[in-house]
Amino acid sequence: MHIHKTTIRVRYADTDQMKFAYHPKYLEYFEVGRTEMMRDLGLPYKVIENNGYLMPLIASHLEYKKSAFYDELLEIETRVENLPVVKVHLDYIIRKVETKEIVVEGYTDLVFIKSKNNKITRAPKFFIDKFRPIFDKKD
């Protein structure tokens, strides 16, 4: 399993009339967690795209637990539990940094498509090679 953590502050533009983070923003927060995890592994989207692949989102699920308010600092935990081969399944937990309360839990599924023809394909070798050492570790 691979766990990555990053933080984000709830911006005023992320809130609604009720003063807390508007529910669709959490998918954007999931994306922040996902892109920062991949960047730390040496896989920013630019590298993936320059190698001829795209990663569209095919499924998402969110469970709202608590509200997050303007200016609160949130921790986004992104987990990969299995070596991504066909699709990339990521689990997320978003917590308030100050209280550790869970705000949202959920997941996203992404697939690989070749940018030349938009055909779904298996994860490319360069992608798997970045994850393999994580899953080959013996505890």
| Contact yes or no for 84/137 (Cβ under 8 A) | no
Q: Which helix (H) or strand (E) holds 125?
A: helix 125-136
- Report CA 92 to chain centroid distance, whole Å: 7
Has 71 been annotated as catalytic? no
> CB 139: neighbour CB atoms within 10 A?
3
Q: Which position among 14, 16, 129, 139 bears the catalytic label?
A: 16
Active site residues: 16
